[in-house]
Amino acid sequence: MGTQAPISTTDHQNYDRQTSIGEKLAKQKAIDDWLPITSARNAKWWYSAFHNVTAMVGAGVLGLPYAMAELGWGPGVAILVLSWVITLYTLWQMVEMHEMVPGKRFDRYHELGQYAFGEKLGLYIVVPQQLIVEVGVNIVYMVTGGKSLQKFHDTVCSNCKDIKTTYFIMIFASAHFVLSHLPNFNAISGVSLAAAVMSLSYSTIAWGASVHKGVQPDVQYGYKSKTTAGNVFNFFSALGDVAFAYAGHNVVLEIQATIPSTPEKPSKGPMWRGVVVAYIIVALCYFPVALIGYWMFGNAVQDNILLSLEKPAWLIAMANMFVVVHVIGSYQIYAMPVFDMLETLLVKKLHFKPTWMLRFITRNIYVAFTMFVAITFPFFGGLLSFFGGFAFAPTTYFLPCIMWLAIYKPRKFSLSWWTNWICIVAGIFLMVLSPIGGLRQIIIQAKDYEFYS
């Protein structure tokens, strides 16, 4: 009978180490299955299409005729088309970079940033900008939702008692106190689909009703302001409005993370198909609204085209209701990565248990915060161009290009190198100029504004 070899200490240590690694991985997997971005990976390509439409076609589309009035015909058309082309290119880059490392997926914008710029620097570059965009959009959408509800109420019931904007923003926020508890992107796909359909509907109403109204008798296409300085500042602020209109990139990797992927069938195939469909819909929404709205009203157009269209009342009421439904979906799309960041921080860094209660408290606090800021500063137009330039330009127009140069290192003066540098320069111009115009607009509007009126 052979004797059994004694188990050495090293074997014990190895066994313990493997067990602890196994436990760690299991724990890690449990957390990933709980976090909103990585919990569901069974989305189809059309999910990508309507999530992207919902993220992209924001209430920003209604401000495009006003932006055209500040830019003028030539520059306006050029900037609209250029923005469409540049942002489609940078979106393609992000879809490509999602899985450029075999066996790894960059499910979040900051993970890609960390790969391109290093662990620490990547976080510092991407997270603040992404948060400004997402929280900024959520605040602007609180204002938009509240104001559209107010317009609906005033249109349907013209001789009713006036109700403060504050209360309408609260009514709008109440929907989010409920919807914010949907766990992940796939869970909000129904809301997102409704929102995408609504964006097409109200865009069509906006340009259709403008055509019906016809070119106004005293229409003027000259610049609004009497002073050169005024025109220059307005031009800057219009650049921000356009940047705001193309701001879906902040949630692209997060949307792509929900699509299944294998080495034979990477997620970039279905994702790109969805993006192309989304961009065609974006063009069908943006170009008619911007060009027809400006053509009919000239420089007298309001910063929200629906405000320029008073009649027919039922149609305008309906369009405002569509805006409300769409903005509800958009709010959720932009809030999901914020929830993911908050919950990752609480569970992974601060070691809270991933429970229903934790989610309930954090998400309600976040919705309450965005509602409070929206009630305090409801300057819709100025907010749009301020946030538009400040944070959208980097994350949409040139951060993907910088990452592409850092990772793929294309040959100097090659086509790829030139394309990326042109996008970077254009994006930096946008980032520097448009907040100036936006800030000036906020200051002008704030002069005669009373808090919580």
DSSP assignments along 124-154, one per residue = HHHHHHHHHHHHHHHHHHHHHHHHHHHHHHH
The mean per-residue pLDDT over the stretch 65-81 comes to 89
Judged against a pLDDT cut of 90, whether residue 61 lies above it is answered with: no
82: which residues sit within 8 A by CB, 6+ positions away? Answer: 426
> For residue 10, is pLDDT > 80?
no
Whether the predicted pLDDT of 134 surpasses 80: yes
Instruction: Flag the least confident range among 362-366, 400-404, 429-433.
Output: 429-433
Helices (H) and strands (E) in the chain, counts: 17, 0
Query: CA 57, 63, 64: angle at the middle one, nearest 5?
Result: 80
pLDDT at 370: 92
What letter does residue 299 receive in the DSSP assignment? G
CA distance 116 to 406: 6
**Confidence (pLDDT) at 25:** 82
- C-alpha distance across the termini of the chain, in Å: 93
pLDDT at site 385:
63
Picking from 74-88, 161-175, 275-289, 370-384, which range would have the lowest pLDDT averaged per residue? 370-384
Q: Rounded to an integer, what distance in angstroms lies between the CA atom of residue 116 and that of residue 288? A: 38
> CA 222, CA 237: separation in Å to the nearest integer?
17
Looking at the predicted structure, is the pLDDT value of residue 16 above 80? no
Write 124-129 long-range contacts (CB < 8 A, 24+).
125/399, 126/395, 126/399, 127/341, 129/391, 129/394, 129/395, 129/399
Pair 207, 292: CB distance under 8 Å: yes
pLDDT at 368 over 90: yes
State the pLDDT confidence band at 357, using cuts at 50, 70 and 90: very high
Q: How far is CA 307 from CA 89, 154, 161, 315, in A?
A: 34, 12, 20, 12
Mean pLDDT of 38-51: 80
| Confidence check: pLDDT of 144 > 70 | yes
Q: Measured between alpha carbons, how far is 172 from 167 in angstroms, rounded to an integer?
A: 9
The tens digit of pLDDT for each residue in 290-345 reads 999 888 888 888 877 877 777 678 888 888 899 899 989 889 988 998 999 999 89
Give the model's pLDDT for residue 453.
60
Chain mean position to CA 223: 30
- Give the mean pLDDT of the chain: 84
CA atoms within 13 A on the CB side of 202: 31
Residue 436 CB coordination number (10 Å):
18
Residue 148 has pLDDT above 70, yes or no: yes
Which is higher by pLDDT, 382 or 419? 419
pLDDT band at 288 (very low <50, low <70, confident <90, very high): very high
Phi, psi values for residue 3, rounded to 5°: -80, 150
| Domain residue ranges of the chain, discontinuous segments joined by + | 36-446
208: tokens are 């259709």
Lowest mean pLDDT among 226-235, 357-366, 400-409: 226-235
Give the C-alpha separation, 441 to 239, whole Å.
13
In the chain, the percentage of residues whose pLDDT exceeds 70 is: 92
- Region 63-78 average pLDDT: 89
Nearest Cα residue to 255 out of 12, 13, 55: 55
**How many C-beta atoms surround the C-beta of residue 76 within 10 A?**
22
* Confidence class for position 372, pLDDT limits 50, 70, 90: very high
Second-level CATH architecture of 36-446? Up-down Bundle (1.20)
Peptide bond into 312 cis (omega under 30): yes
Among positive and negative, which fits the CA dihedral 254, 255, 257, 262? Answer: negative
* 87 alpha carbon, distance to own chain's centre: 13
Neighbours of 127 (CB within 10 A): 16
Mean pLDDT confidence for 5-31: 72
- What local confidence, expressed as pLDDT, does residue 173 receive? 94
What region does 216 belong to: left with phi over 0, alpha with psi -120 to 50, or beta? beta
Rounded mean pLDDT, 74-103: 89
Q: How far apart are CA 448 and CA 415, in angstroms?
A: 51
Instruction: Round to whole Å and give the CA distance between 432 and 448.
Output: 27
Query: Among 137, 282, 270, which residue's Cα sits nearest to residue 196?
Result: 282
Task: Give me the pLDDT at residue 222, please.
Answer: 80
What pLDDT score does 160 carry?
83
128 vs 71: CA distance, rounded Å: 30
**Burial grade of 45 (CB within 10 A; 0-12, 13-18, 19 or more):** middle
For residue 431, is pLDDT > 80?
yes
The angle, 0 to 180 degrees and rounded to 10, between the axes of the packed helices 64-71 and 268-297 is 60
Neighbours of 2 (CB within 10 A): 4
Report the amino acid identity of residue 44.
K
CA distances from 50 to 83, 268, 275 (A): 20, 16, 9
Residue 176: predicted pLDDT? 93
